Structure 1
Amino acid sequence: MIIKGERDFCTECRETTTYTLKKKDITKEIKGCTYQFSITTAFCDNCGKEVNIPGLIDKNIKEIDEQYRFIKGLVSIEDIQRLLTLYDIGKRPLSLALGFGEVTIERYLSGQIPSKKYSDVIKKALTNPSYMKSCLEENENKLKDIAFAKSMSAAERCESLFSVSEKILGVISRLFDNLEEITPLMLQKLLYYVQGLSYVKNGKPIFLEECQAWVHGPVYPEIYFMFRDFKYNPIEDVRFAIIQSDKDRLTESDVYIVDLVSDTFGRYSGKVLEKITHKEAPWISARKGLSDDMRSNKIISSESIEAYFKEKDGEYGFSEKAGIETYICNMMD
C-alpha cells in the first residue's frame, strides 16, 4: 500500500512536509519466539526519514495483532463480534454458552489473545450452527430463558444454510464477494446464469439444485426461503460468516464462471434480469399453458437450460465478457 499527499511535521526537516505511507517489514519477539510483521510506516517525501503521524502507533498495534493471530491460527476480534451478532447473544451469555468464564468474551473483545483451545471453540461455533446449538443445550441452565430462546432460534435459522449443497453456497459466497449489493430477486437470476454458463464452459452444472419457473423468472426455492425476509431490499446478512470457507469448494473454472456472471449480468438489477429470463426459452417452455400471474413450481429442466445456453454460446460466444454483453443488450431491446 502506498498513499501520498498528506502532510505532517518532520522532526528531521524541522518543517511540515508531505509524507508517503508504505509497508515496512519488522521483526518482533513474542513469548520467546521471533516473528516478522508488515506494518504501515510514514516516510517524509523530502528527506526520506520516518515521520511520526497521529494514530499510526495504534494502527501498527492492530496490524501486528491481526497478523499474529493469523500466523497462530487464532480467532480475530472481528470474528468474535460477528459471533455475537450471528447468534443474537450478549457477551456474558456467549461466554457461558461456550463453557468459558462469564467475562472471557469481554476480555477477548478488549484485546486479550485467546488460547488455541478457546479460539478453536469460538471458530467452530462461528462456522457450525449445529455445534452452537449443542453448546446452548449443554449450558442451558446457566442462561436466562430469553437469552437461550433468542440464541437457539438464531442458530436454527443459520442451520438452514446447510440445507443446500456446498457448491451453491460457494457460488453465493463468491457473488457476495464480487458485488456490492444483491437483492433476493437478483441473486436468483445470477444463480440461473451461473448454471447456464457452466453448461457452456464445463459441460455440466456447478450445483445440483433445480430451479422452478415462477412468475418472476427462474427461482431456486431453497435459496428463496433463505432470504425472503429481505423482500426487494439488498441482502445484508451476517449469517454468511458461516459459509465464507465454502467458496474454496469452487474450482478455477467455477470461479471464472461466477466472476464472468458478476462482471456482466451482475451489472443489472433483478428486475432487468427478470425481464431477460422472460424472453428465454427454458422459462417460457416450463410455463407453457400458464397465465402470466399463475403460480407454478414446474421445474425448468436441466436439458432445456443446457440446450439454450449452448445454442446462444454458438451465436454470441458466452465464454467471453464481450459476447455476454452483446447478448444482454440484444435481449433488452
Structure 2
Amino acid sequence: MMSEKRRIDFCTTCRKETPYTLEKQTIVKNIKDKDYTFTLTTAVCDECGSFMSPPGLIDKNVQEMDTQYRTYENIVSVHDIKRLMAIYKMGQGPLSLALGFGEVTITRYLSGQIPSKEYSDIIRNALISPRFMKKMLYENRDKITPAAYNKAIKAAEELEDLFAVSDKILGVIYCLFEQLTEITPLMLQKLLYFVQGISYANHNTPIFPEDCQAWTHGPVYPEIYTLFKQFRYNPIEDPRFVIFEGTDDKLTVQERHIVELVANTFGEYTGKPLERITHQEAPWQDARKGYGDGIPSNELISKQSIRDYYLEKEILYDFSSPEGIKKYIEEMCH
C-alpha cells in the first residue's frame, strides 16, 4: 500500500487523537452476482495500525466505488450528463424527455442513481454524435417546448460541422486547448500551421490531412475558421466545445509531443506576432504572389511547400527542442 497523506483524528482502539496515514486498499465486492475489485482510500492509525474513520472518508469511498463501477460497466458519469446539458443548453427535464426518458430521470442520475446500460448508451451516443441527438430530438419534439427544441437543434447542427474535419485536427485543437489558457481564432489558425511545419521538420510527415489557404492574415484552415468565426478576436470559450474532450486520444505519443512543443514555444505569443512570422515564410509568400497587401485570396498553401520550407530551416535550427524553435521565433520577430 502506498502512503499518501497524514492527518490527526480520534482512534477508537488507542482511545485518543492520533496521527493517521491515508493508504490505498484493494477490496472485492459482489454486486448483482458479479465480483468487482475496487481500490479504496483507507485511514490507518500510525500508532496501532487500526483502521480509522475520519470525517468524509465514507463519502470518498462511495465516490471511488461509484467511479470505478461506472468504468467497469462503461456507464456514463454525472460529469458526462452535465456536459450533455451544457452542449445542448437543456435543463434536466427537457433533456430527459428529448432522450425518450421519464421527465425526472436525468434529475435522478444527477443525484447519484446509476443509469441502466441501455439508458447510459443513449446518453453516450447523444454526447458523441450530434446526428444521433438530432434523431432523438426529432422523435421526441412533441414532448418539449418549441424554444428548447429549436435551441438544441441549432446546437446539434452547428456541432455537425465538427465532423466535417479529421479526427487528427480535432485532436490537435483539443490538445492546444488543454495546453494553453487562452486561444483566439487567429492564434489557433497559426498554431495549427506551425504544428504541421514542426511535424515535417521532425518526422517529415504532416499530423492532419487538412490543407490551409493563404489569406490576408496568414495561413488559414477554412473549415476551422467556420467553426470558430463567431468568436472573432476574442478567446474561444463555449460549453459546446467540451465535445472535443478525448479527441486527443486520436494522436500518437509522437504527435502529442509535437503539439506540446508548439504550444510551449509558438503558444507563448498572441495571434498578431504569429501572423507576422508566417508573413515572412516562403509558403505563405509564394501562395500570395500577384496579390497586393490587403487583397483577399484563398490560394492553397501546399503541404509540399510547408514541408520543403521547414526541412530547410531544420538544417539551421533544432526544431526538436524548445530552444531551437525559440531561436527561430526570435530571429523572425526581429
Q: TM-score, length-normalised on structure 1?
A: 0.90
Distance 1:204 1:240 in 2: 28
Give the aligned length: 333
Match of residue 115 from structure 1? 116
Which residue of structure 2 aligns with residue 30 of structure 1? 31
Q: Within 1, Cα distance between the matches of 2:64 and 2:295?
A: 56
User: Is the deviation greater in 120-129 or in 318-327?
Assistant: 318-327
In structure 2, what is the Cα distance between the partners aligned to 1:179 and 1:12? 50
- Cα 1:23/1:331, change in 2 over 3 Å: farther
Alignment partners' CA distance in 2, 1:228 and 1:2: 50
Q: In 1, distance between residues paired with 2:329 and 2:105?
A: 54
CA distance in 1 between partners of 2:50 and 2:28 (Å):
19
Q: What is the CA-CA distance between 1:74 and the residue it aligns to? A: 0.5
Quick one: which amino acid aligns to residue 277 of structure 1?
A: T
Moved more, 193-202 or 149-158: 193-202
Q: Secondary structure in 2 aligned to 1:182?
A: coil
**Structure 1 position 235, deviation (Å):** 2.2
2:247 match: secondary structure: helix
Gapped regions of structure 2 (runs ≥ 5)? none
**Native 8 Å contact 2:6 2:22 kept in 1:** no
- Please provide the CA RMSD for this pair: 2.4
Q: 3-state DSSP class of the match of 2:28?
A: strand
Aligned equivalents of 2:182 and 2:3: distance in 1? 28
Kept after mapping to 1: 8 A contact 2:284/2:301:
yes
d(CA) in 2 for partners of 1:179 and 1:18? 40
- Aligned-pair CA distance for 1:138: 1.1
Q: Which residue of 2 aligns with 1:270?
A: 271
SS at match of 1:85: helix
Alpha-carbon deviation of 1:48?
Answer: 5.2
Shift in alpha-carbon separation, 1:48–1:313, aligned structure 2, 3 A: farther
Tell me the residue number matched to 1:313.
Answer: 314
Paired-residue identity, %: 57
Displacement of 1:14 in angstroms is 5.2
- The within-5 A match list for 1:98-137 is 98-137=99-138
State whether structure 2 residue 139 is matched by structure 1 residue 138: yes
Q: Which range moves more in the overlay, 176-185 or 187-196?
A: 176-185
2:59 is equivalent to residue 58 of structure 1:
yes
Moved more, 216-225 or 152-161: 216-225
Structure 1 residues 235, 23: closer, same or farther in 2, change over 3 A? farther
Q: How does 1:204-223 map to 2 (within 5 A)?
A: 204-223=205-224
Equivalent position amino acid for 2:169 in 1: I
Deviations 1:80-124 (A, max 9, x none): 111111111121121111111221111111111111111111100
* Whole-angstrom distance in 1 between the partners of 2:77 and 2:125: 13
Aligned-partner Cα distance in 1 for 2:225–2:12:
60
What does residue 187 of structure 1 align with? Answer: 188
Structure 2 residue 24 is the aligned partner of structure 1 residue 40: no
8 Å CA contact 2:96, 2:105 repeated in 1: yes
1:250 has 2:251 as partner = yes
Change (3 A) 1:323 1:103: same
Query: What is the distance in 2 between the residues matched to 1:278 and 1:9?
Result: 68
1:258 is displaced (CA, Å) by 1.8
Deviation at 1:221, TM superposition (A): 1.6
2:280 paired with 1:279:
yes
Quick one: distance in 1 between partners of 2:233 and 2:99?
A: 36
Secondary structure in 1 matching 2:301: coil
Question: Hey, what's the Cα distance between the residues in 2 that align with 1:228 and 1:45?
Answer: 59
User: What is the distance in 1 between the residues matched to 2:20 and 2:279?
Assistant: 56
What letter matches 1:317 in structure 2? D
Distance 1:136 1:254 in 2: 37
* 1:163 aligned onto 2:164: yes
| TM-score (normalised: structure 2) | 0.89
CA distance in 2, matches of 1:125, 1:54: 38
Matched with 1:227 is 228
| Aligned 8 A contact 2:87 2:241 in 1 | no
- Give 1:332's aligned residue: 333
Deviation at 1:177, TM superposition (A): 2.9
Q: Helix, strand or coil for the counterpart of 2:245?
A: helix
User: Match of 1:52, as an amino acid?
Assistant: S
What SS does structure 2 have at the residue aligned with 1:299? strand
How big is the shift at 1:212? 1.9
- The amino acid of 1:185's aligned partner reads L
Shift of 1:323: 2.0
Question: CA shift at 1:37, angstroms?
Answer: 1.4
SS at match of 1:160: helix
Distance 1:43 1:76, change over 3 A: same
Q: How much does 1:18 deviate?
A: 5.0
Preserved CA contact (<8 Å) 1:84 1:94: yes
The structure-2 alpha-carbon separation of the partners of 1:143 and 1:330, relative to structure 1 and needing over 3 Å to count, comes to same
